[in-house]
Amino acid sequence: MNHDENRDTQTRRQTSQTDANHYLEMDLLRFTTAGSVDDGKSTLIGRLLYDSKSIFEDQMDAIEETSRNAGDEQVNLALLTDGLRAEREQGITIDVAYRYFATPRRKFIIADTPGHTEYTRNMVTGASTADLAVILVDARKGVLTQSRRHAFISSLLQIPHLVVAINKMDLVGYDQDRYEEIVEQFQEFSAKLDVDDITYIPISALHGDNVVHRSEAMSWYEGSTLLYHLEHVEQTSRQNLKDFRLPVQTVIRPDQSFRGFAGQVASGTIRPGEAIQVLPSGQKTVVERIHTADGDLEEAVAGDAVVLTTREEVDISRGSLLVKPTNVPSQEREIEAALCWMNPEAMAAGSNWILMHGTRQVQAIAREVLYTIDIDSMHRQQASELALNEIGRVRIETAEPLYFDPYKLNNATGSFILIDPASNVTVAAGMIREASTRTGAGKPTEGSTAGQSDPKASPNVVWEPWNIAREEREKRNGHSAKLLWFTGISGAGKSTIAKALERRLW
């Protein structure tokens, strides 16, 4: 349909990619694609690659030949993203496959995940690093279980942007009413999800409408094309720029004169001269230099791979977490987490695992499955174990304290995997909700980004949720917050009195 326009794209790509150093301005967006079988996911990716001129002649020749051998009239663009031989034979995709393309503005990494029920684990894997999710809906079929499932997993994994691509619009006569009906269906259900940004785009992957080029057949649609949206959406939304955390990977000590701690800033920022605290030891020191092979930095931000040196000799090694003393994470030996189970053998309460969190590995016991989540209805279900591809809420105890932030506030320090100590296989992906309510402590206060509790706080101190956020209160009162301590035996009415007092003073 839009083939003659391709030449424009080609020239545009050539000229701007050859502009001297233009590529130093390009950034990077990672997105996942998900859809039920036959919704047109492979065709859509093929279309994006083809229309953005990311396909080479020999690849094209190969799929033309395959299409011809299979007796297809049209070149089957879906073949471009088709992976391993076994899958080609079975005619299905079964794992996460990564694809790449670039426009003059941006480089894109697609985590392409299949839509079968049994592959929740692949969707979770793809979603763990994505900035955006493209959810395909077949315009004829409307919002099906699969679409809901993908949206739920995207929100669970906290992908900041969702695009609902309503595909095969050509088969419903490019009808605006049908489009709006589907948007409504989706909105009805997405209201329950934790996603801020949802964009709806009517497309035809097969003919190319609204994928790279605007659709003439759908002039009623005033939004942007899929590619334009992908090129312009904010790509750093996933990063936490407030809470400085750096999990130490290794110590670099070429000689007596240099001892540096290498790692990637997981979140927040750090500058030379700033105080840091080392966890678990609790020792404090000051950052002396932020070394990189390109010279020292005045500031390191989330994502930077750096080497820090400190003013004092402190005990720092692989697995240490560097933070600022004024902003420390929660410290707990018991946590509650959303767990996606990826092992054929179900997880039972009382089982032992190795928990990998940042650059640290600790022994862990799965104490209790609190419930599983039916990902189709999003309802909680009673359960005593977690089976393959199930997602549930689990209470986990670790041999040593974990230093974490809730996943919602910090993907880097709120995520972990479980490893089977016998086979060494990765069996689960976990997202920490909070410290287990059994022990109570370390729950972050509302109004602060992360838990501000001192890591040495007694596990018996319990935070009560606020009625009014701290900032609001301070603004109204014109002075900073003060602490009042109520003591008394359990059940004496401390919380009740405290809340009444809070109202009174307001």
Partner 1 sequence: MKSHTSHLKQLENESIYLMREVATQFERPALLFSGGKDSIVMVHLAMKAFDPGKIPFPLMHIDTGHNFDETIAFRDRLVERIGARLIVGHVQESIDAGKVKEETGPEASRNGLQTVTLLETLSEHQTDCALGGGRRDEEKARAKERFFSHRDRFGQWDPKNQRPELWSLYNGRKNPGEHFRAFPLSNWTEMDIWQYIAAEQIEIPSLYFAHKRAVFNRRGVWLADTKHMTRYPDEELEEKVVRFRTIGDCTCTGAVLSEASTLEEIIGEVASARQTERGGRHDDKRSEAAMEDRKRLGYF
Ligand X SMILES: Nc1nc2c(ncn2[C@@H]2O[C@H](COP(=O)(O)OP(=O)(O)O)[C@@H](O)[C@H]2O)c(=O)[nH]1
**Subset of residues 55 to 94 that bind ligand X, contact rule: CB under 6 A:** 78
Tell the smallest beta-carbon distance from residue 287 to partner 1 (Å): 17
The binding track of 401-430 with respect to partner 1, each residue x by CB under 8 A or -, is ----------xx--xxx-x---xxxx--x-
Interface with ligand X in residues 196-215 (CB under 6 A): 204-206
Six-digit token pair at 19?
A: 């502009």
Q: In what helix (H) or strand (E) does residue 403 lie, and over which residues does it extend?
A: strand 391-404
Q: How far apart are CA 352 and CA 355, in angstroms?
A: 9
Instruction: List Cβ neighbours of 501 (8 Å cut-off, separation of 6 or more).
Output: 484
CA atoms within 13 A on the CB side of 498: 15
- Choice from 4, 71, 91, 254 touching partner 1 (CB under 8 A): 254
Tell the smallest beta-carbon distance from residue 42 to ligand X (Å): 3
Three-state DSSP class for residue 189: helix
- Choice from 92, 338, 354, 370 touching partner 1 (CB under 8 A): 354
Strands 360-374 and 352-357: antiparallel
Q: Per CB under 8 A, which region of 250-258, 331-339, 446-454, 494-502 contacts partner 1?
A: 250-258
Closer of 204 and 310 to ligand X (Cβ):
204
- Choice from 44, 77, 78, 124 touching partner 1 (CB under 8 A): 124
Q: How far apart are CA 192 and CA 355, in angstroms?
A: 31
Q: How far apart are CA 201 and CA 46, in angstroms?
A: 18
Binding to partner 1 by residue 44, rule CB under 8 A?
Answer: no
Interface with partner 1 in residues 428-467 (CB under 8 A): 429
3-state helix, strand, coil in the chain (%, to 5): 25, 30, 45
Residues in binding contact with ligand X, number by CB under 6 A: 16
Question: What pairs with residue 429 in β-bridges?
Answer: 340, 417
Q: What are phi and psi of 41, to 5 degrees?
A: -65, -50
Tell the smallest beta-carbon distance from residue 159 to partner 1 (Å): 13
Three-state DSSP class for residue 233: coil
Strands 161-167 and 197-202: parallel
Q: How far apart are CA 407 and CA 335, in angstroms?
A: 12
Q: Per CB under 6 A, which region of 38-46, 257-265, 395-403, 445-453 contacts ligand X?
A: 38-46
Tell the smallest beta-carbon distance from residue 230 to partner 1 (Å): 14
- Choice from 252, 399, 462, 500 touching partner 1 (CB under 8 A): 252
Interface with ligand X in residues 131-190 (CB under 6 A): 167-168, 170-171
Tell the smallest beta-carbon distance from residue 375 to ligand X (Å): 19
Interface with partner 1 in residues 64-103 (CB under 8 A): 82-86, 94-100, 102
- Residue in 306, 317, 313 with CA at minimum distance from that of residue 280: 317
Answer with the entry of partner 1, ligand X, none that 94 interacts with (C-beta below 5 to 8 A by kind): partner 1
- Chain centroid to CA 293: how far? 29
Answer with the entry of ligand X, partner 1, none that 161 interacts with (C-beta below 5 to 8 A by kind): none
- Choice from 9, 40, 154, 455 touching ligand X (CB under 6 A): 40
The binding track of 167-206 with respect to partner 1, each residue x by CB under 8 A or -, is ----------------------------------------
Please state whether 293 falls in left (phi above 0), alpha (psi between -120 and 50) or beta: alpha
Closer of 216 and 299 to partner 1 (Cβ):
299
Q: In what helix (H) or strand (E) does residue 336 lie, and over which residues does it extend?
A: strand 330-341
Neighbours of 275 (CB within 10 A): 12
Contact (Cβ atoms closer than 8 angstroms) between residue 218 and residue 294: no
Q: How far apart are CA 150 and CA 275, in angstroms?
A: 42
Answer with the entry of partner 1, ligand X, none that 40 interacts with (C-beta below 5 to 8 A by kind): ligand X
Interface with partner 1 in residues 297-326 (CB under 8 A): 301, 303-305, 307, 318
Binding to partner 1 by residue 249, rule CB under 8 A?
Answer: yes
Three-state DSSP class for residue 36: coil
Token look-up 């419930």 returns 371
Tell the smallest beta-carbon distance from residue 141 to ligand X (Å): 12
- Rg of the chain over CA atoms, in angstroms? 26
Measured on CA atoms in the order 16, 21, 25, 27, is the torsion positive or negative? positive
Tell the smallest beta-carbon distance from residue 294 to partner 1 (Å): 6
Tell the smallest beta-carbon distance from residue 91 to ligand X (Å): 9
- Choice from 262, 349, 388, 457 touching partner 1 (CB under 8 A): 262
Q: Per CB under 8 A, which region of 158-166, 288-296, 371-379, 441-449 contacts partner 1?
A: 288-296
List contacts with ligand X (CB under 6 A): 35, 37-43, 78, 167-168, 170-171, 204-206
